[in-house]
Structure 1
C-alpha cells in the first residue's frame, strides 16, 4: 500500500493575530475527489529549468514546479527531514562496513513518454553530482562524492550503492528533482550508452553528456519542451504562458495515488500583489516572503482565508565578494560592524514574529536543536553597531571612500528597506552604499558579479547541506571564499554519524566563519501561508522544496 504525501508530522504553526483567522481548515487529509478541479498558487519566481541541480539554475522557482513532476526515493517532510517516498520505490541500508544501500524502483515506474525509470537514470544522477567529472557543473556533490557508481545494468529496476566512507545523510541520495531521464540525455547528446561511456571514462562522450545535462534543459520563458522533459510524477507540465503562469496537469502515466486536482496552476505574481490576487479570487494559495505591509493586506481578508505563520528553514544574510574589495579582512570587519542587525530585526521582522532575534549561526536556526551552542561562536561581536570601530579599521587599513553596491532580486519591499537601514548606518562609517536591486540579480550573483549579495538560503535539516556553500569547491560558493580548514571540516562533518561529534565540528566551522566573515547572517524569517477557505490539503513545508511538496493532495471543498 503506497502512502501519498500527506506529511509524516505536522509543523507547529502559530496563528497570526488576524481577524477571523484559524489554522485548522488549511491542513489535514482532504476528502477523496475525482472532480476535474483546478487549484491556483502564486509564486514570485518564474520557472527556468527542468534541471534544478546545476550551479546556475538551482532555485525555489524551479522546485515548486518540479516537486510533482520529478520524483525520487525521498522528499523533504514539513520539518525539512528526509521522508522516504514509497510510491517511487524503496531503499534499505544493507551494510555498515562498507556503507551499502540497496534501491528498488517501483516495477510500474515509467517516464510520461513511456520509457521505464531504470538503472541508467540513477547512474546519470550519480555521475552528474559526484564531482568526478566537473564538466557537469552541479550545484553540490555532498554524499555522491563519497559513493561509487551504482551497481546495475541498463534496464535494471534495482541497484546498489557502496560508499567509500561513512556518510551522515546516507538516506539523502536520488531524491525529488535529482533523478533525470538518461534516455533523453543519450538521445540528445548522441551518446547511446551512458553507462559504458562512464565506465570507460570516455572524456569526449562524457563532455557531450555533461553539456546537455547542464544546458539542454534551460528554457526560454514560455518554451517548455515536453519531448526532452518527461514527467516521473503525478503531474506533467501542460502549458506555460511567459511571465504569467505554468500549468501542471495530471500525468496519465503516473502509477501511484491519483492526484486530487486535475490541474495545479502556478501564477507568477510579485509578493506585494499576491494578497490582492487572493482577495480577488485570482489565486487560492500563497506563501510569499513576509513583511509588515503584507500582514496588513492579509488582515483585510477576514474570514475568506486562513492565515498562519510557520517556522521556516530560510535565513537572510549578506554575502561579501572575496574577489573584490572584501578580500581585505579589515574591510569585511568594518562593514560587519556598521550593519544594524538588531534594528533590521526590530523594524522588519518582529512585527511578524515578536520572538524574532538576530541570527548568530549559519548552520542551525533558533528553533533547531544545538543552535545555542553555535550561537556562542562569535556573532555577538556584531550585534551592536560600532561606528568608531568601523572607522578606525578603515583608517588603519588606508581604505576610505569605499563604494559598495548591495544587490538583491527585485521587487522585494523588505530587502529594499534592509538596504536603506544599512546605507544610513554604514554611511556614518565612511561607506557609500548603493541599492543594486534588480530583477536579474541572481544571474549576476551566480557568476560572481556583485559586491554584496542580500538573499536567503532555503535549506533542509541535513548536516551535509552547507558543503556546497562554504567549501572551496562548492557548487553554490559564489563568493570565492576559500578556507582549507573549513573545507576539510565540512567533508569530515559529512562522514560523522554521531550527533555530538557533528555539533562539535559545526562549532569549529561556525567559529571560523565568524572570523572570516564570509557571510553575515541577519535573521531567520517566518513563513506566511494564506489559503482560501475552499481549499483543502495545503500544508506548509519548512524546507527548500517549497509549498507544492504535497500539491497532489490539494483539493477544493464541496
Structure 2
C-alpha cells in the first residue's frame, strides 16, 4: 500500500505526497461565507480518487488528499502564504510542557460528524493509535501479504496481528508518543506526552484530512450497531491493549475507506469537514455536497463541487473551453500553455510549483529476479543514463521558459536556504550529463546477468509517457533492458513488493516541517517505497527530530542529502511547472505551493452566475 507528495522550497522541505485565503490577506477563510443553494462548479484532476484514508501508505496520494482535506476537519491547515492556520472552530491544542514535551488536544463541544455523532476523544485516540503504531504487533512484516497487481493487502493477511498501515517509525513524529494518552473527564480532550523533544510537534496530529470516525471503524471491525457503544469499544480496546479487538480495528482502519466508487455502506463517507462525498462514479468523478452538520469557520459557499478525473491534460483544457469544468490544474506541457492562450473568459497562472519529478530504485522486493538494484554499481550505472537535461529541455522548458530548472537535491528545494550548499557537497553533479560509457562499464563489472528494469509510471499521463521513452532509449544504450511497467493505477502499486524495479513520479509538498522528509528515507518510513535502509540516515532522522537550532538542522539535512547520493538512492529531475486555469464564473480561487494546491480554500470559492433555488 503506498502513496505520497513533496515539499517546496520556501524554507526547506516538508511532508510529501504522491503527485495530483480569501483573496487579499491569505488568513483564515470562511468568516464571510454564505451557502448559495443550487450553486455548483466542476474542477478537474488528473487521477481518480480511491481512498478516504490518506494516512496509510496505500492512500497517501494527492488525488485522495485533495478530497479528504475537504471532508475531514482537523486542528490546523496551511493557507497559501503559506503559513499554518489553527482551526479553532474545530478545536484547540496547547503546549502544556516542554520537558517532557506534553500537548493537549481538545475538540470543541457541539462539533459533530455528518451523521450527528459528536467528535470527541475516541476519534483522537484512534488517530493516536494509528499514527503512533504504539500498539502494533512487534516485528510484523506486511510485505508478503501485498498484492503486486493492485498494491492492496491480500485475503491471506493474518487476522490476529495489530498493524496500522501508517508508516510510523520509532523516534519520529507520533513514533515518539509511545505512552497511551490521557483522556479528560469530559471526554473532549487527550493529552500526549512525547518520549523526547520533537521540533515539528505542531504538525504531528490532526491537520485537515487526518481524523477518521472511530465509531464507523469500530462498527465495521467489531460488528457493533450503536455509535456510542462503538466509540467506547475503541477506547476500551486501547486502554486494555486488547490485541484481538485492536487487530480487527487496525484492519478496518487500513481497508474500509479504500473504494473506487460510491460505497454501498453510506457510513463510510461520514464526514466532519465543510463537504461530504455525495456521489462517486468509478474513473469519472466524485461529487462533494455541503455538509449540513458542519458548524466551523470554513463553511461552504458553493453547495456542490464535482471533481472530474481527466488524466489527459489536453482533454482537461478542452473541457474548460467547452464550459464542462471551471478549474483545471493539469500536468503541464507546451501544448497545454499554447491551447490555453486561445481560450477567452479564463485566468491562467503558470509558475514553478512545489512538486518535483524523480526516479527511485527498488533496493529490495524488486520485480527483477536478481533484485538488480541491490547492487550499488548497477544503481549508479542506471542513474548515469537518466537524460535529465534532455527531459528538461524538450518537455519542461517549452512550458515556462528559463524558469524551468533541474533539481539537484533529494531534500532541499531550489532556492531554499541550504540548497546551494547541499548541491555543492552531495555529488549530484555525477548525473548532470548522460554517461553511457561509464554506465556500461559499471554494469559489466557488476556481474549482473539479467539487466531487465521494469519502470513504473503513469501510463495515462502523456508527459510521463514521453519521459519513459527518453529514459528507455538512453538506458538501453548502456546495456539495460528497460521494460514498460506503466499503469493507470501506478500510485497504488508504489512500494508494492514484486511490482516493478524503478519508478518515475512526483513528490508534492504538504507542509513546511523540518523532519517530514525523513518519511521518504528512514527505514520503514511511510514514503520509503524503495525498501532503502541506511543506519546513519536513521540516526539523522532521530537527531533532527529533537534539534531546534536552524543551522544544526541544515547541517544534518546536508549530510543526509550527501548520503542519499552516495548510496545512489535515486535521482531528482526537475521542479514541476504548475499551470492553473480558472473560469471567470468562479472567484476566490488561488493556488498554494503546498498540497492541496488549488483546493486549499475551496470553501471560499464563489460562483458569479449561480442558479439559486427559490
State the TM-score, normalizing by the size of structure 2.
0.83
Match for residue 371 of structure 1 among 410, 419, 428: 419
305-314 or 332-341: which moved more? 305-314
Task: Tell me what 2:507 maps to.
Answer: 457
Separation in 1 of the partners of 2:284 and 2:60? Answer: 21
Separation in 2 of the partners of 1:394 and 1:469? Answer: 27
Task: Tell me what 2:159 maps to.
Answer: none
Separation in 2 of the partners of 1:186 and 1:435? Answer: 42
Distance 1:122 1:311, change over 3 A: farther
Task: Tell me what 1:74 maps to.
Answer: 76
Shift of 1:444: 2.7
Secondary structure (helix, strand or coil) at the match of 1:67 reads: helix
- The superposition leaves residues 152-205 of structure 1 with CA deviations (integer Å, 9 ceiling, x where unpaired) of 158622232221111111101211111111122222222652222222222111
Task: Tell me what 2:160 maps to.
Answer: none
Match for residue 490 of structure 2 among 441, 451, 454: 441
Secondary structure (helix, strand or coil) at the match of 2:417 reads: coil
Alignment of 1:303-382 (within 5 A): 303-323=344-364, 324-353=371-400, 354-376=402-424, 377-382=426-431
- The superposition leaves residues 402-446 of structure 1 with CA deviations (integer Å, 9 ceiling, x where unpaired) of 222221122111111111221222222122222321112223323
Separation in 1 of the partners of 2:433 and 2:476? Answer: 16
Distance 1:225 1:297, change over 3 A: farther
Separation in 2 of the partners of 1:119 and 1:211? Answer: 21
Task: Tell me what 2:524 maps to.
Answer: 473
- The superposition leaves residues 123-147 of structure 1 with CA deviations (integer Å, 9 ceiling, x where unpaired) of 1111001032340111445411112
Task: Tell me what 1:431 maps to.
Answer: 480
Shift of 1:224: 6.2
Separation in 2 of the partners of 1:394 and 1:496? Answer: 41
Separation in 1 of the partners of 2:78 and 2:500? Answer: 32
Separation in 2 of the partners of 1:367 and 1:117? Answer: 41
Task: Tell me what 2:151 maps to.
Answer: none
State whether residues 315 and 524 of structure 1, in contact with CA within 8 Å, keep that contact through their aligned partners in structure 2: yes
State whether residues 119 and 154 of structure 1, in contact with CA within 8 Å, keep that contact through their aligned partners in structure 2: no
Match for residue 176 of structure 2 among 146, 152, 166: 146
Separation in 1 of the partners of 2:512 and 2:67? Answer: 22
Shift of 1:464: 2.0
508-517 or 386-395: which moved more? 386-395
State whether residues 135 and 241 of structure 2, in contact with CA within 8 Å, keep that contact through their aligned partners in structure 1: no
Separation in 2 of the partners of 1:155 and 1:220? Answer: 38
Residue 245 in 1 paired to residue 285 in 2? yes
Separation in 1 of the partners of 2:260 and 2:464? Answer: 27
Task: Tell me what 2:240 maps to.
Answer: 200
- The superposition leaves residues 62-106 of structure 1 with CA deviations (integer Å, 9 ceiling, x where unpaired) of 111111110110112325653221221222223211112222222
State the TM-score, normalizing by the size of structure 1.
0.91
Secondary structure (helix, strand or coil) at the match of 1:136 reads: coil
Match for residue 531 of structure 1 among 577, 582, 587: 582
Residue 35 in 1 paired to residue 63 in 2? no
State whether residues 329 and 578 of structure 2, in contact with CA within 8 Å, keep that contact through their aligned partners in structure 1: yes
Match for residue 500 of structure 1 among 546, 551, 556: 551
Distance 1:81 1:404, change over 3 A: farther
State whether residues 56 and 139 of structure 1, in contact with CA within 8 Å, keep that contact through their aligned partners in structure 2: no
Secondary structure (helix, strand or coil) at the match of 2:268 reads: coil
State whether residues 316 and 525 of structure 1, in contact with CA within 8 Å, keep that contact through their aligned partners in structure 2: yes
Shift of 1:296: 1.6
State whether residues 486 and 509 of structure 1, in contact with CA within 8 Å, keep that contact through their aligned partners in structure 2: yes
Secondary structure (helix, strand or coil) at the match of 1:72 reads: coil
Separation in 1 of the partners of 2:352 and 2:547? Answer: 27
Match for residue 285 of structure 1 among 314, 317, 327: 327
Shift of 1:274: 0.3
Task: Tell me what 2:85 maps to.
Answer: 83
Separation in 2 of the partners of 1:504 and 1:531? Answer: 41
- The superposition leaves residues 501-556 of structure 1 with CA deviations (integer Å, 9 ceiling, x where unpaired) of 11111011101000111121111112211100121111102223242221111111
Distance 1:170 1:456, change over 3 A: same
State whether residues 384 and 434 of structure 2, in contact with CA within 8 Å, keep that contact through their aligned partners in structure 1: yes
State whether residues 535 and 555 of structure 1, in contact with CA within 8 Å, keep that contact through their aligned partners in structure 2: yes
Separation in 1 of the partners of 2:449 and 2:488? Answer: 31
Q: Which runs of 5+ in 2 are unaligned?
A: 1-9, 11-22, 137-162, 223-229, 365-370, 610-614
Task: Tell me what 1:44 maps to.
Answer: 46
Instruction: Give 4+ residue runs of structure 1 displaced > 6 Å after superposition.
Output: 27-31
Distance 1:360 1:255, change over 3 A: same
Separation in 1 of the partners of 2:301 and 2:288? Answer: 12
Alignment of 1:154-303 (within 5 A): 156-172=187-203, 173-190=205-222, 192-223=232-263, 225-257=265-297, 258-272=299-313, 273-301=315-343, 303=344
Task: Tell me what 1:484 maps to.
Answer: 535
Q: Which runs of 5+ in 1 are unaligned?
A: 1-10, 12-23
State whether residues 140 and 467 of structure 1, in contact with CA within 8 Å, keep that contact through their aligned partners in structure 2: no
Secondary structure (helix, strand or coil) at the match of 1:177 reads: coil
State whether residues 522 and 541 of structure 2, in contact with CA within 8 Å, keep that contact through their aligned partners in structure 1: yes
Q: CA RMSD in A?
A: 2.2
State whether residues 55 and 475 of structure 1, in contact with CA within 8 Å, keep that contact through their aligned partners in structure 2: yes
Shift of 1:390: 1.0
Shift of 1:342: 1.3
Secondary structure (helix, strand or coil) at the match of 1:350 reads: helix
